[in-house]
Structure 1
Amino acid sequence: MVKQTIQIYARVKPSRRPAGIYSISNEEAGAPSLEIIVPRDLADGFVNNKRESYKFRFQEAFDQETKQEAIFDRIAKPVAESVLTGYNGTIFAYGQTGSGKTFTITGGAERYSDRGIIPRILSYIFEQFQKDSSKVYSVHISYLEIYNECGYDLLDPRHEASKLEDLP
């Protein structure tokens, strides 16, 4: 029996630069939304009829101020808890190059508080193992990158590209 359905979240990339033009609404009925505003470029005096507002719905949207700990608590910890009860768990980060996927997943090296989902979830799981010595656990971890139709096993020291079907 599936404990939880697929959940989709959005996170606006943490940045030291001023916040971009976006808004997050958690007050609407249904799912929270992330609205991105792209101002029209009025250069050269041409008429520009392109859309300015793009609105997307998610289970939850996180702004630039959201800390790594909050991301872990809201997204990864429930997956870890399901894994500890015997379900498979997957956390999949998707986005364009430079959108903050690596920071969210692995974290930053500057501060301990910037640890990402992977180090936090591993710590959490092994803490739970230590609390319950009545069970024997077996852990299998995959860490894959898919880029331009090639797959990379990020735990393989050879760092070679593979066909997606050849990855473990």
Structure 2
Amino acid sequence: TADSNASSDGDAIKVFVRVRPLTQGSGLTTDGDRSLCLTVTSPHTVRLHCKPEPRTFTYDHVADMDTSQEEVFSSVAKNIVESCMNGYNGTIFAYGQTGSGKTFTMLGKS
């Protein structure tokens, strides 16, 4: 039985994607130009502009470049932190290529 203080999602693993803002020299371009290689099409999907056919991927939550650090925390970490404060284990695992924005996602702007 689930404790009433536990998250309503229980032990569910969720995948959240954050598309970080472009920085000078970032590798988020296609064909050597400054056009984006993907777009956020909904709060749950991203569209990768690959060739020959674009592909759409679905996740539990997608944060676009305009999403604030507070909004990321509220949607990704708040419930996990609250559960930890109530004695439950919780993990936030940031995964991605070097320079892809993991530290930015966890800490925000310097």
Give me the TM-score of the superposition, normalised by structure 2: 0.72
Q: State which of 15, 21, 38 in structure 2 corresponds to 1:22.
A: 38
Query: Residue in 2 aligned with 1:120?
Result: none
Tell me how far apart the structure 2 counterparts of residues 19 and 99 of structure 1 sit (CA, whole Å). Answer: 17
Written as runs of structure 1 = structure 2, the 5 A alignment for 1:15-164 is 15-16=22-23, 20-26=36-42, 32-38=44-50, 50-109=51-110
Q: Secondary structure in 2 aligned to 1:99?
A: coil
Tell me how far apart the structure 1 counterparts of residues 35 and 63 of structure 2 sit (CA, whole Å). Answer: 13
Tell me how far apart the structure 1 counterparts of residues 11 and 70 of structure 2 sit (CA, whole Å). Answer: 22
Give the RMSD, CA atoms, in angstroms: 2.2
Query: Number of residue pairs matched?
Result: 94
| Kept after mapping to 2: 8 A contact 1:24/1:35 | yes
Shift of 1:99: 0.8
Q: Where do 4+ consecutive residues of structure 1 move more than 6 Å?
A: none
Query: Residue in 1 aligned with 2:13?
Result: 6
> Which range is displaced more, 88-97 or 99-108?
99-108
Identity of aligned residues (%): 38
Query: Residue in 2 aligned with 1:133?
Result: none
Shift of 1:5: 0.6
Q: Secondary structure in 2 aligned to 1:20?
A: coil
Tell me how far apart the structure 2 counterparts of residues 19 and 72 of structure 1 sit (CA, whole Å). Answer: 28
Tell me how far apart the structure 2 counterparts of residues 95 and 60 of structure 1 sit (CA, whole Å). Answer: 16
Shift of 1:25: 2.9
Give me the TM-score of the superposition, normalised by structure 1: 0.49
> Which range is displaced more, 83-92 or 8-17?
8-17
| Kept after mapping to 2: 8 A contact 1:19/1:64 | no
Q: Secondary structure in 2 aligned to 1:105?
A: helix
Larger Cα-atom Rg = 1
